[in-house]
Amino acid sequence: MRTIAIASGLVFIASAAVGQAPSASASHNGAAAHAIVEPPDRITWGPAPAILPKGAELAVLEGDPGKPGPYTMRLRMPDGYRIPAHFHPAVEHVTVMVGTFRVGMGDRFDTGKLADLPTGTFAALEPGVRHFAQTQGVTVIQLHGTGPWSLTYVNPADDPRERKP
């Protein structure tokens, strides 16, 4: 199996059969070019950050979402997982990779406002758009953008970091 990626105007061809994620670098107009290849079975998952409700897992594929610059990450959530109404300070780009991500717009979680985003759906929300979500089945979404990534809950009491054990 071969993967072709285009970065900085150069084409990199990598073989997934070699057992290692290939990397390449070259100079293009004085800037270093690179390729990142992450086969699904090699992605490292860990607990999602404390700003999200417990139960989700996160994998960072590119960059550092907590710092300025580009990032790509995946969020894996169990069936029925809920994220209360919140918003982001930057554009949020979401691609549904697995499952059904149910999203609604507004200041409070309302199941009557949820719309199903099936596998393959892409969405982009402008900064400040208030929304909430729930999963149907195990669901994986890919988030990408320019960091730092963060979210603010509409109701501060919904922030899991504020809850006492």
Tens-place pLDDT, residues 109-145: 999 999 999 999 999 999 999 999 999 999 999 999 9
**pTM to 2 decimals?**
0.79
Question: Cα–Cα distances in Å, from 28 out to 4, 11, 22, 34, 62?
Answer: 18, 12, 19, 10, 20
Q: Number of folded domains in the chain? A: 2
Summary mean pLDDT of the chain? 84
**Within this chain, do residues 7 and 80 fall inside the same structural domain, yes or no?**
no
Give the residue-averaged pLDDT of 66-92: 97
Give the residue-averaged pLDDT of 74-83: 98
Residue 155, domain CATH: 2.60.120.10
**Within this chain, do residues 120 and 151 fall inside the same structural domain, yes or no?**
yes
Determine the pLDDT at residue 60: 97
**Within this chain, do residues 157 and 135 fall inside the same structural domain, yes or no?**
yes
**Within this chain, do residues 127 and 100 fall inside the same structural domain, yes or no?**
yes
In the structure encoding, which two tokens stand for residue 153, read together?
């809950």
**Within this chain, do residues 75 and 135 fall inside the same structural domain, yes or no?**
yes
**Within this chain, do residues 98 and 20 fall inside the same structural domain, yes or no?**
no
Residue pair 82/133 in contact by the 8 Å Cβ criterion: yes
User: Is the predicted pLDDT of residue 16 greater than 80, yes or no?
Assistant: no
User: Is the predicted pLDDT of residue 39 greater than 50, yes or no?
Assistant: yes
**Within this chain, do residues 153 and 91 fall inside the same structural domain, yes or no?**
yes
**Within this chain, do residues 58 and 130 fall inside the same structural domain, yes or no?**
yes
Within 10 angstroms of residue 113's Cβ, the number of other Cβ atoms is 14
Cα(106)–Cα(85) distance, integer angstroms: 7
**Within this chain, do residues 108 and 143 fall inside the same structural domain, yes or no?**
yes
Q: Which domain holds residue 75?
A: 43-162
**Within this chain, do residues 26 and 58 fall inside the same structural domain, yes or no?**
no
Cα(100)–Cα(148) distance, integer angstroms: 26
**Within this chain, do residues 28 and 56 fall inside the same structural domain, yes or no?**
no
Determine the pLDDT at residue 13: 30
